[in-house]
Amino acid sequence: MSAPVDPFGLDGRVVVVTGASSGLGTGFARSLGGAGARLVLAARRVERLEAVAAELRDAGVEVATVAADVARPDDCARVAQAAVDAFGRLDGLVNNAGLGGAVPALKETPQGWQDVVGVNLDGVFWTATECARRMADGGAIVNVASVHGHLAPRSFPHAAYAATKSGVLGLTRALAAEWSGRRGIRVNALCPGYFASEMTDAGGEQLASAVVGRTMLGRYGEQHELDGAVRFLLAPASSYVTGTSLTVDGGYSAW
């Protein structure tokens, strides 16, 4: 009798993680590596990226790294090709790279707006398309959006951020419609609420107080509480899930 297949296992699967040099991206890399995935990690901060890769290699994870800015389509192509060059295949993508910022709409600059759109929306599109070109049937893409793709920011002004994350949700549905049936590639979005990270640390006590007051669980989320959702969306357990979004926000959006 053959051993049962773990529906949440990622043994041998090759997964790209963008924005992997810090925050949620580093956490995703650790979790996916621990589940047996072989990883291609991409980010702009090379030294931090290599430090993450060294940690994972010490734990026995197979890792390749690519210095890349996802706002540049050519860099997105290099990231996808690096997976094929290093491991001979590409099975999954966690489209995690993103920019925050808290700028009132009337004070936003053209360059500031373009910087956020270039990473949060353009980068998601170009990375997804370049990875999809190289994926075989059964691939899975997870686009990291935000709870603010569904509802307006309340504590701080985030017009550019909210607009791009809403765009990611529409893009996810459109790509799923194109690729799920024809190419066998599932595309879903993950919508985190507020998790402890560099981005939330920058908000200080003012943000923390607002999050605690609005979130049903009364606290920031912790990395491990998001890792399971990413693994689910990449793994065979979600084989009939595509074109949708999974919100993990401690009840923030349910009030």
Q: Which residues are catalytic?
A: 161
> DSSP for 81-102?
HHHHHHHS---EEEE-------
DSSP 221: B
Measured CA to CA, the distance from residue 83 to residue 41 in angstroms comes to: 9
Give CA angle at 232 (132, 250), nearest 5°. Answer: 120
Sign of CA dihedral 46, 52, 53, 54: positive
Show the tokens assigned to 242: 């595509």
Measured CA to CA, the distance from residue 213 to residue 19 in angstroms comes to: 29
> DSSP for 57-81?
HHTT--EEEEE--TTSHHHHHHHHH
